[in-house]
Amino acid sequence: MVYKLVGLLCLCLASAAAAQDSAAHSPVVTLYGKGGKADVLCTLPLTNSKGISFKNSDAKCPDDKAYFFSVARPADGMEIGLYDSETCDASAPYSSYKVTGHVEPGKSTRLLSVDAAGGVPAGKVIADSLAGNGNNKSGPLRGKVSCVTVSGAP
C-alpha cells in the first residue's frame, strides 16, 4: 500500500513538473505602455485563441494602454493579432504579425511598436523573424490595444 502511495505521489510530482516546464518554454507576448521596457503592462501566454479581450476576460491587461510589444520564445508559423476592437474585429485599427523563421530558443523579439506592421507588405520581415501580416489603415493602433488573437501556436 505504501509503495502505491509513493508511486502515485511521484507521478503527480512528475506531471506538475512537466506542466511547469512546458509553461516555461511556451511563447508569450508582453505588452508595454508609453515608457517602453520599463512600463510592462502584462504578459499573455500565446495559446491558440480567437480573441483575448482585455475588457471581457481575466487577462489582467489594461485596455487602451499598449504602445509596444515583444514575443518571447516565438514559434515558426505563429500569428499574432493586436486589435483596437474589444471583439478583435478587423474593421477597427489592428496590426497582425507572423513568425516566419527560426528564433534562437529562449530568445525574445526586440521591442516593437504595436503599429510596426502599418504600411508593411504582408510577409515582409520587420525584426527578429517577425513579419507584417496585415493591418487596417483606418488609424493608428498605438495606445488602443483591446484584444489579442493567436493562431498556429505550438
Q: How does residue 70 score in pLDDT terms, banded at 50, 70 and 90?
A: very high
- Nearest Cα to 99, choosing from 120, 73, 119, 121? 73
Q: How does residue 18 score in pLDDT terms, banded at 50, 70 and 90?
A: very low
Mean pLDDT to the nearest integer, 128-135: 90
Highest mean pLDDT among 6-15, 46-55, 121-130: 121-130
Predicted pLDDT of residue 20: 38
Predicted pLDDT of residue 5: 40
- Nearest Cα to 148, choosing from 12, 17, 5, 27? 27
Which segment of 43-52, 59-68, 70-79 scores lowest on mean pLDDT?
43-52
Q: How does residue 123 score in pLDDT terms, banded at 50, 70 and 90?
A: very high
The DSSP line for the chain is -HHHHHHHHHHHHHHHHHHHHHHHHS-EEEEE-TTGGG-EEEEEE---EEEEESSSSS----TT---EEEEES--TT-EEEEESSTT--TTS-EEEEEE-S---TT-BPPPEETTTTTTPPTT-EEETTEEEEEE-TTS--TT---EEEEES--
Pick 27-151's CATH classification: 3.30.930.10, 3.40.50.300, 2.30.30.60, 2.60.20.10: 2.60.20.10
Q: For residue 3, is pLDDT > 70?
A: no
- Nearest Cα to 65, choosing from 42, 37, 87? 42
What pTM did the predictor assign? 0.81
